[in-house]
Chain A
Amino acid sequence: MKLQQKLVLLTTLSKALMAVILLLALPWIVETLALRHTDASLRSEQQRVMRRIGQIGITSFLTEPYPNQKVHYDLLQDEFIELRHAVGTQSDTVATLPRQQHGELVDFRVLRHTFALEGQRYTVEIGKSIASVEDVYALLRSLAAYALAFAVLTTLLIELGVINYLLRPVDQIVERLRAVQGPMPAPLPPLPTTTSDFKYLDATIRRMLQKIRLVFEQEREFIANASHELLTPVSILQNRFENMLQAENLPEEAEQQIVTSQRTLHRLTATLRTLLMISRIENEQYARNDQVVVRQVLHDVVAELEDRIADENLTVDWALEGEPTIGAANGSLLFTFFYNLLSNAVKYNHTGGQIRISGQQLAGQPYTVQLFNTGKPIPAEHLPHLFERFRRAGNAHSAEGYGLGLALVRTIAQFHALRLQVASSEQGTTFTIWLPATPLSA
């Protein structure tokens, strides 16, 4: 899961937890608050009653026919005030008590206050029906619920936005790293962020890419220089051997040795030439000015190999749909590319085998060319290393070639942004080439 998603999940969960706790505690909180509010209003009512008694005396309240008791209910009978002679000594209380009302017991919140006046003790009770208190509950509850929902949603949205904004550099860094295709990534501008961690990460990655670039450049330069410097001594030896062979009356044994040495030298030359070529391609020393018609170049390659194909009694099947072209390409490099692949298809085939050249354009996909041969299967463990320099598979392919043909193929593919894949089974080996969807700029 992405960091951003995790953070969003975390925030959402914590908000949900908070909402659940608040919703569970809400009735209790509201009840407590409402009771407290009721009690406070009962007390202020009591003070008003006491003030009134102080002003007009108690007698006007206690009239016949109930000289001992006066009960007054308000219109809706939600509230009452009762004044009576006190019986015994009672302390002041506030409590929820049942009261008879129209033959039913109804809960009231009742404040009881006992006071002395003119040598008499009186008790005043002020009550408020719990039902009316509960109306306040409901109001408070819905208000609290709305406020809670609002708070949860707004903070969630704000946090999501902030998380998204803060973590944007991570996406940018990942995007940049994904964009690095070859071993020579272009230098990147610093990431626009104020977060110091990301700044640090970005700087580290850029330093790393720079280092990779440098190491690769050094390797490339070394290969180019070494190959180039070696070509002159190789030339000297080659010319010397040829001159020696021209000598009259050379003993046959000496001739044989010279020829064997020449063969070794030839191998060395081929290796050096290929290394130089790979290094030149990687140095972008080849122009990409050609528009290469794939069918044409494949025909040219097959024509080039026709003797060997005939010698091995191979059949070549064509199933190339449409007229694929590769724009902004180097024709001679692409010739070498297909030549190496098809030359391998001939070399590793069995006598009387088959080579199939097919190509098709699937909707929404780049054009694919497939080169299939009925050669011995390449073991699965060798497939991932097939295009590496000097890597030789320990099977039928071993001891032949100098392990650079397919490395060159890969380099040319990279140079032209062709995607390349190999698959091998008992039936044979298939090289699949995806042509670039859009032509490269030259």
Chain B
Amino acid sequence: MNVLIVEDDNALAQELALFLQHEHYYCDFARTGAEASEKLYVNEYDFVLLDLGLPDQDGLQLLAEARKQHNLQASIIILSARGSVDDRISGLQLGADDYLPKPYSLLELGSRMQAITRRKHGVTQETLSFGGFVINLSERSLRHGGTEVVLTRREFDLLHYLLLHRGRVLTRMQLSEHIWGNMISDRDDHDSNFIDVHMKNIRKKLGAFDTHDWIETVRGIGYRFKPTQDV
């Protein structure tokens, strides 16, 4: 899939591209609004990652123009330092598909791009399964066989996120960022310790049905969802 990265900061664009290429996306770059307009006119992209603070133009203006003039099918995700609710609302109202305030986690961005792709292609993968467990996203439920495993909202979100990135180490920060977003308070290590408490609870709940340790603790770093050989 083709991605256009509209970002005036070269280093940031490079880091973004490095991650996306690793995820098998093809990346193209635009540093200014004019450059972006031109590329959008000529090429077809699946995703546009749009920074709002461009040197020559406001990103929101570019977005409005892109949506109106080229009737673009690309999914646009705004990546901006302007992260206030009002900015997000105006961005989304102008036709953006998602909005991530800087600095964002690349994994979070990856997940959102996957979700958009699924929605766009009508692939509503309502269920994910591992071992004997089936997780239902629309019902927000987890079952083992016919029995429901009761999870709290946070536990469900964490398990789902781990499952989406199965086999990959997720740091406590990334997990905390996903669960609490950029909720602003005097949050600190307390919350990342709290991730451990959640993990312990999830493990206990899964362990009641299955002896396999699905969640691996990576010492000092975080957690990894560890699939069995047959998954």
Are chains A and B native binding partners rather than an unrelated pairing? yes
How far apart sit A405 and B104, CA to CA, in the bound complex (Å)? Answer: 21
B220 contacts A256, CB within 8 Å? Answer: yes
Given known A-B contacts A243-B15, A246-B19, A280-B84, A232 and B102 have beta carbons under 8 A apart:
yes
* Inter-subunit contact A402/B186 (CB<8 Å): yes
> Contacting B83 at CB < 8 Å: which of A263, A273, A400?
A273
Q: Report the Cα distance A406→B186, complex, angstroms.
A: 8
- Cβ of A402 and Cβ of B15 under 8 Å apart? no
Evaluate contact between A232 and B81: CB separation under 8 angstroms: yes
Partner of A408, one of B86, B105, B184, B197: B184
**Extra inter-chain contacts (20) besides given A237-B103, A267-B188, A401-B186, CB under 8 Å:** A228-B53, A239-B16, A239-B18, A240-B15, A242-B105, A245-B169, A246-B22, A246-B168, A255-B220, A266-B177, A273-B182, A273-B184, A274-B184, A276-B83, A307-B154, A332-B85, A336-B184, A336-B185, A347-B186, A404-B186
Does B12 interact with chain A (Cβ within 8 Å)?
Answer: yes
Cβ B9 vs Cβ A262 within 8 A: no
A233 to chain B, nearest CB (A): 8
In the complex, chain B residues 82-96 whose Cβ is within 8 Å of any chain A Cβ: 82-86
Q: Which of B106, B171, B173, B218 is in CB contact (< 8 Å) with A243?
A: B106
What are 27 A-B residue pairs whose CB atoms fall within 8 Å in the complex?
Answer: A228-B53, A232-B12, A235-B102, A236-B11, A238-B103, A238-B105, A239-B12, A239-B15, A239-B18, A239-B19, A240-B15, A243-B106, A256-B221, A259-B221, A259-B222, A266-B177, A269-B103, A270-B184, A273-B101, A276-B83, A307-B197, A308-B194, A339-B183, A340-B186, A343-B187, A344-B186, A347-B186
* Per-residue B-contact encoding for A290-327, CB less than 8 Å = 1, 0 else: 00000000000000001110010000000000000000
In the complex, whether B107 has a CB less than 8 A from a CB of chain A is yes
Are A242 and B84 also in contact (CB < 8 A) when A343-B185, A408-B184 are? no
A270 touches B187 (CB 8 A): yes
When the two chains form the complex, which single residue of B104, B198, B220 contacts A259, counting CB atoms closer than 8 Å? Answer: B220
Q: How many A-B residue pairs have CB under 8 A?
A: 131
Q: Smallest distance from the beta carbon of A417 to chain B beta carbons, Å?
A: 20
In the assembled complex, the Cα of A415 lies from the Cα of B84 at a distance in Å of: 16
How many angstroms between the C-alpha atoms of A344 and B152 in the bound complex? Answer: 22
Kindly list chain A residues whose C-beta atoms are within 8 Å of the C-beta of B177: 266
B190 at the interface (CB under 8 A from A): yes
Which residues from B are CB-within-8-Å of A242? 19, 105-107, 174
Contacts of B84 in A (CB 8 A): 277, 280, 285-286
Interface residues on A, range: 35 or more
* Contact (Cβ within 8 A) A232 B15: no
Alpha-carbon distance between A232 and B53 when the two chains are bound, in angstroms: 10
Closest to A237 in B: B103
Shortest beta-carbon distance, B215 to chain A, in Å?
17
- Complex-state Cα separation, A240 to B154, whole angstroms: 28
Cα separation A408 to B18 with both chains bound (whole Å)? 36
B interface list, Cβ under 8 A from A: 9, 11-12, 15-16, 18-19, 22, 53, 81-86, 101-107, 152, 154, 168-169, 171, 173-174, 177, 182-190, 192, 194, 197-198, 218-222
**CB distance A307 to B198 under 8 Å?**
yes
Question: Which residue on A lies nearest to B169, using beta carbons?
Answer: A245
B98 to chain A, nearest CB (A): 16
Q: Which residue in chain A gives the minimum CB-CB distance to B198?
A: A307
A404-421 vs B, CB cutoff 8 Å, 1 = contact: the mask equals 111010000000000000
* A235 touching B104, Cβ below 8 Å: yes
Among the listed A262, A277, A405, which residue makes an inter-chain contact with B171, where contact means beta carbons less than 8 Å apart?
A262
Q: A234-B103, A236-B9, A286-B84 are in contact. Are A243 and B18 (CB under 8 A)?
A: yes
Shortest Cβ gap from B129 to chain A (Å)? 25
Chain B residue contacts of A280, Cβ below 8 A:
84
B82 nearest CB neighbor, chain A only: A228
Contacts of B188 in A (CB 8 A): 267, 400-402
B22, B184, B194, most chain A CB atoms within 10 A: B184
Instruction: Tell me the complex Cα distance, A12–B209, Å.
Output: 95
